Structure 1
Amino acid sequence: MGEFLYGTSSWSSPDWAGVFYPEGMPPGDYLGHYAQEFRTVEADVTYYRVPSRQMVEGWDRKTPDDFVLCAKFPRSIVHAGAERLPDEKRLLMPGEDGDDLERFLEAMSILGDKCGPLILQFPYFNKKVFTDPTPFLERLDTFLAGLPTEFRYGVEIRNKTWLAAPLLEVLRRHRTALVLVDLKYMPHPADLMGDLDLLTTDFVYVRLIGDRKAVEARTRTFDRIVMDQGPRLSRWARLLREVIPRSERTLVFANNHFAGHGPTTIRDLAALVEENEGKS
């Protein structure tokens, strides 16, 4: 049986004060408190800016030795545009993002064994950006080939028709995971597994993102569950029971926008996985 780690997407939500974090706790103490319950977390802040050495040293200092901290590649690398649409001429081009890439990897190396997979979270690409996946896959292939092997990597795709053999072949070639996502307009991985083997390396990475607009129509404060996602979580639990034995490590993260409160969502999913394990 592979290792099963679960946590949330980010730990810094101010809405968790008095619910997940003790009332009055300084935000600087949040990560240490978080790490008392969960063994992994996904750093969302790195998408918006390259973390400083001081920031990553703080993460290292506040977490135990067996903690796993995953992070997203900076937006300047995977999006490369200041506007809403990504810049297809610059994204994943080392000549353009080289400084940010080098600084990002150097900072994350401070974590040593605590550093989990680093995630390339790509936006949806319309036909004004890429008319078809081939040029993107060629660039991704080259980019992954140039990354240092001391880290592990994952790729999140938001074009559902790109979830096909050519993409999976590129990822397998570079021991990179296809990030499995629960996102409104993306197919559930379970619907694809009959025709495609979505496990492209020796670890599995799952992100429960959900329907942002639907949740925000119910709340703008993320301190409680506002949407019943029980059936979806049960389906994920069944899928995880299938994939965990096939991987050395499975990491699963819940976003506040999945149901309203990330910590409760991921606790519920973990309980379902353990319940199913007891029945197997």
Structure 2
Amino acid sequence: MAEHAGTWHGTWHEGAGHESTVRIGTSGWSYDHWEGVLYPPGLPARDRLAHYAARFDTVELNASFYRWPKEDSFAGWRRRLPEGFALSVKAPRGLTHAKKLYAPEVWVDRITRCWHELGDKRAVLLVQLPPDFARDDARLDYFLAALPGWIRVSVEFRHPSWDDAGVYALLERHGAAYCIMSGAGLPCVLRATAPFVYVRLHGPDRDVLYGGSYPDEDLHWWAARIREWRAAGKDVFAYFNNDGGGNAVRNATALRRMLEGPPPG
């Protein structure tokens, strides 16, 4: 097992009767430095998503964290993305970092209207909490209760105080996924709290987030974990966030190929 990978904590029930799906993609898609890796030189930025969607079946939208798109943008993605493609979206920093989930009603209403527009192309709403946001069960519980039950949500915790059995139980009550992380200085806790698993791979570099390329040894380890989740009937969404040098594209492609083939003997 790769040294950074952490310890297996999940409790699974076999034979759930659900044919699980696994989607592997990247965090973001419009990077100039992906020319020659994913995009042919000179490809207009407006054509990058279509080119990406011809190769992958999911992506995590990160620009929404800085500026939440309008409803017609979500409707446009629903029309433009191919059948079977699923878009995960990062929640706005106005909700997660400025307000730290306090009084979330206005944001929940905006997100819900946009999620309706995304239709059958919607995957998971990623809610990344800031490193200075310490554990507050009541606030998290209120926020999750305010979200419509049909919106799949995953919460990424950056403050260590959230690593607690009570928090996992709270997520389970709401059917929200604990976001499993891999990256420098981040705890890699393999805990499943929802019918789906959400994984963000921020890079193997021990000192710098988003840096480096995962070696095959690490990717095989993650492939084995994904096979276990899939066997347990869990849908899996995994996104590589180490975009530098096109590493995310290469790692996502390699992991998908490992999962398409037979497990190593």
TM-score by length of 2: 0.84
Q: 1:164 to 1:258 in 2, by over 3 A?
A: farther
Q: Residue 212 of structure 1 contacts residue 258 of structure 1 at CA under 8 Å; is this kept in 2?
A: no
Provide the residue aligned with 1:169 in structure 2: 169
Instruction: Please state how far the C-alpha of 1:279 moved relative to its aligned partner.
Output: 4.4
CA distance in 2, matches of 1:213, 1:109: 40
Q: Deviations over 1:20-59 (max 9, x none)?
A: 1122221111111111111111000111111112322222
The total of aligned residue pairs comes to: 246
Provide the residue aligned with 1:144 in structure 2: 144
Q: 1:64 to 1:164 in 2, by over 3 A?
A: same
Q: Does 2:181 correspond to 1:206?
A: no
CA distance in 2, matches of 1:101, 1:47: 14
Instruction: Please state how far the C-alpha of 1:173 moved relative to its aligned partner.
Output: 0.4
Provide the residue aligned with 2:120 in structure 1: 113
Provide the residue aligned with 1:99 in structure 2: 106
TM-score by length of 1: 0.80
Q: 2:222 aligns with which of 233, 236, 252?
A: 236
Q: 1:19 to 1:257 in 2, by over 3 A?
A: closer
Q: Residue 131 of structure 2 contacts residue 157 of structure 2 at CA under 8 Å; is this kept in 1?
A: yes
CA distance in 1, matches of 2:209, 2:114: 34
Specify which structure has the bigger relative contact order, considering alpha-carbon pairs within 8 angstroms and separated by 6 or more residues: 2
Amino acid at match of 1:91: K
CA distance in 1, matches of 2:138, 2:126: 18
Q: Residue 168 of structure 1 contacts residue 200 of structure 1 at CA under 8 Å; is this kept in 2?
A: yes
CA distance in 2, matches of 1:140, 1:153: 12
Q: Residue 51 of structure 1 contacts residue 104 of structure 1 at CA under 8 Å; is this kept in 2?
A: no
Amino acid at match of 2:224: R
Q: Residue 215 of structure 1 contacts residue 260 of structure 1 at CA under 8 Å; is this kept in 2?
A: no
Q: Which structure is higher in helix share?
A: 1
Q: 2:53 aligns with which of 35, 52, 67?
A: 35
